[in-house]
Structure 1
Amino acid sequence: MDKHTPIDLTLTERHSAVTITQWVYSTLRQAVLLGKIAPGRALTIRELATLLDVSPMPIREALRQLSAEGALEILENRRVMVPKMTAMKFAELVEARICLETHSAVRAMPYIDETRLAQLEELDSRIDIASETGNSHDVTRYNQQFHRLLYTANPHQVTQSLIESLWLQLAPFMQVASENLDDYYQVDRHKEAVAAIRERDSLALQMAISADIRDGCAFASSPEQLQQLLG
């Protein structure tokens, strides 16, 4: 990997109720979730502080939080990188996603009304448009919003934080999938999921969510492909 590729951080306005550390954490977390920090791209605390125009202290605190979530790794030389991935770890993360997300989807189904269904369909349409225009980051963004909107329909859910932790660990590698959608996405699993919800068919919903996750990881469907990705 090129260790000098520019990092495209999206800087949002910081509201007065949000601390600098919270803003830095949110900014870096979003960058990881969207695959904007590539595996092998080394960063320093000084570089991040310059990019975000803040002092090193909030950077260190935000990095500690992201490190605890498995999103980033702080090396001995104070450099920051996406943690190394192995084929076994990748497979375990994917299976954990399937287990948690199919559970969350089925638990959320009774709480999904027509308004939320319409919102899910709108997000799926945005994914299609982003795919057609080649905007892989928007594909990732709207895909996460689709799943988040689905699972959080359940007011009693407790798994979203666990799911997002898995997303954080996989996101830098999943970006490869988003950049090769034509090769790996043949069926719109989101439409299958929405149809299953309308029919109140929990088994069909489980199958759609499971297939959606597996399709998204098809770029690493063999040990050879995954090893090439992991470099």
Structure 2
Amino acid sequence: MNTPLPLDITLTDRKDGVTITEWVYAVLRHAVMCGQILPGRSLTLRELAKVLGVSPMPIREALKKLSSEHALEVKENRRIIVPTMTAMKFNELCETRITLETHAAIRALPYINSTILERLESIDKDIDIARDKDDMESTITHNHAFHRLLYTANPHQVSLHLIESLWLQLGPFLRLSTERIKENYTIDRHQEALQAIRHKDALALQLAISSDIREGFAFIGTPEILHHFIQESAKY
């Protein structure tokens, strides 16, 4: 059996007015969403408490919420794992992302002004810088920021919490997918999205967002590849 590597979870400063439980939840949520907790990696309350420097109680409370969001699962033996993934479930999550996010992008398009467009362009540059530095956490974080800003341009949007739930469920796979996508990364879909926004072209924006999501996990094309992918991630 392989000895699991030490957890490498980003610890942010706890701001005034934020409870320990809220901080623990935010830290663990970010870790899952950025792929810092990988499939196959078994965790314990004691390990997480030691890494975060807190008692087990706020860890337990945060895990209840993350479990309800299908981000992590607490087993009967108190081990904490990423929920079991199958090829069919993986495909369903990706297709649902495409449906929700293309809808959110199109609905936001009429509300994107020059200020928001400039912020989107700036975030896209940050993504390129992070990718050039092989900084996977920053790449993923800025990518989420790009999509989140795009969708929330619509003041009436109600789908972001559903979208972020999907990000959480797919997050544990992002580290390896980000590593592999570099091998086939030829088209900047965010640039296509930005161009579509400039021209107020809803169809082009839909296609850019759809391609961006689909190409992110395109290398997992069969159940066999997905199974190998999950087994490989357990080595980390």
TM-score, normalization by structure 1: 0.96
In the aligned structure 2, how far is the partner of 1:103 from the partner of 1:161?
14
Alignment length (residue pairs): 231
Aligned residues of 1:41 and 1:81 also touching (Cα < 8 A): yes
Q: Which residue of 2 aligns with 1:82?
A: 82
Structure 2 residue aligned with 1:125 = 125
- Do the aligned partners of 1:104 and 1:159 also contact (CA within 8 Å) in 2? yes
Structure scoring higher RCO (CA < 8 A, sep ≥ 6) equals 2
| Cα deviations by residue, 1:137-170 (Å, 9 ceiling, x for unpaired) | 2111111111001001111100000000000000
2: distance between equivalents of 1:180 and 1:134? 12
Match of 2:20 in 1: 20
Percent of matched pairs sharing the same residue:
58
Structure 1 counterpart of 2:172: 172
Distance verdict in 2 for CA 1:3–1:160, change over 3 Å? farther
Report SS of the residue matched to 1:215: helix
Output the CA distance in 1 between the equivalents of 2:11 and 2:221. Answer: 35
Provide the rounded CA distance (Å) in 2 between the counterparts of 1:135 and 1:2: 26
Gaps of 5+ in 1: none
Q: How far did 1:17 drift? A: 0.9
Root-mean-square deviation (Å): 1.3
Q: C-alpha distance in 1, partners of 2:157/2:73?
A: 29
Q: Which amino acid aligns with 2:44?
A: T
Aligned to 2:138: 138
- Work out the CA distance in 1 between the residues paired with 2:13 and 2:102: 35
Q: Secondary structure at the match of 2:192?
A: helix
Task: Look up the match of 1:38.
Answer: 38
Check the 8 A contact 1:42/1:81 in 2, yes or no: yes
Q: State the partner residue of 2:223.
A: 223
1:158-169 alignment, distance < 5 Å: 158-169=158-169
